[in-house]
Structure 1
Amino acid sequence: MNLDGVHGVIFDLDGTLVESRLDFVKMRADVGCPPDDDILGFVEGLTCLTTQAQARQVILQHELDDAQTSRWLTNGKAMVEKAQDAGLPMAIVTRNCQQATRIKIHNNQIPIDTILTREDAPPKPDPTALLMVAKQWNLHPRHCLYVGDFIYDRHAAENAGMQWLMV
């Protein structure tokens, strides 16, 4: 991870800092989401509020089950330690819910306090959460590095005008 010109590092959570065993095929099937659709966007688009609430509960249960077994990824821990050693502020921006995110952070003792979930801002690839962190740090987005493992992470960073690293 090259930190030249970087004044703050924002990490994705699942697949970047911690392992995730979320089965998105099963999750999509459980909520009736077509295989190629974004599951969060699909649920938001449901017009029946009861069906939408049920779908959200299904996703929540999948995330909570996954949170119980999530462990540090070796590379993720090394990247956090490198940012710490460089004295850089760090944040996490995740599409996860707050409850599952808190469990993962607590169980793995992840030393990052600034955390934004899908309850705090529109989910990635929307850049809002990344821009909120840059603003909180009083940094221009180009001086921030977003580290993730999925195409939504890259798109969010590009949409925010940030440097990005895919792991």
Structure 2
Amino acid sequence: MVRYAEPGTVEWVESGGGPLVAVPEAVLPFWTGADGEETASDYDRACEVDGLLGLLPVGDATALVLGDEPAATAFLPEHGTLVRWIAGDSEAELLASVPAALHTARWQPEVHWKVPGTVVLFDAAWPGTGSTGTDQVSLTLAAGRYAVRAARVQPGPETWLVLVQLRPLP
């Protein structure tokens, strides 16, 4: 797998070409990835998500699918935001653009996502039990409901990113 992100400031997750998925740790064994024995695997279901994000049932919980195009993705907990690197000259430049991008973003309609706690972000092609040791990152989230919204932004002439913001609901 080609790595586009630079090592350093944050942990980036990349896919082999398909969507990324954030699956609650509690239901990781139920995510079959591309190995499903059904007509449509979990990976197939994730690939059918139209747009920047979507929700899919997994066990007794729900996974968040980051659709559209594969892109290196990092979680910035201080902003409650997943940042997807579409184009940019450097990690530092891209990350520095996030605060302003959050204020100018034109957000798509939000979805509501209920999580039981920590979720794991990884390539949707991998089975949940096989995601350890792959390109993944854990997102420590408090159990509860979140409003999730996404926006494609261009904070600079050569910088493009997708923001996926997770806001706790009361």
TM tier relative to shorter chain: under 0.3
Q: Give the structure with the larger helix fraction.
A: 1
TM-score, normalised to structure 2, is 0.24
Higher radius of gyration, 1 or 2: 1
- TM-score using structure 1 length: 0.24
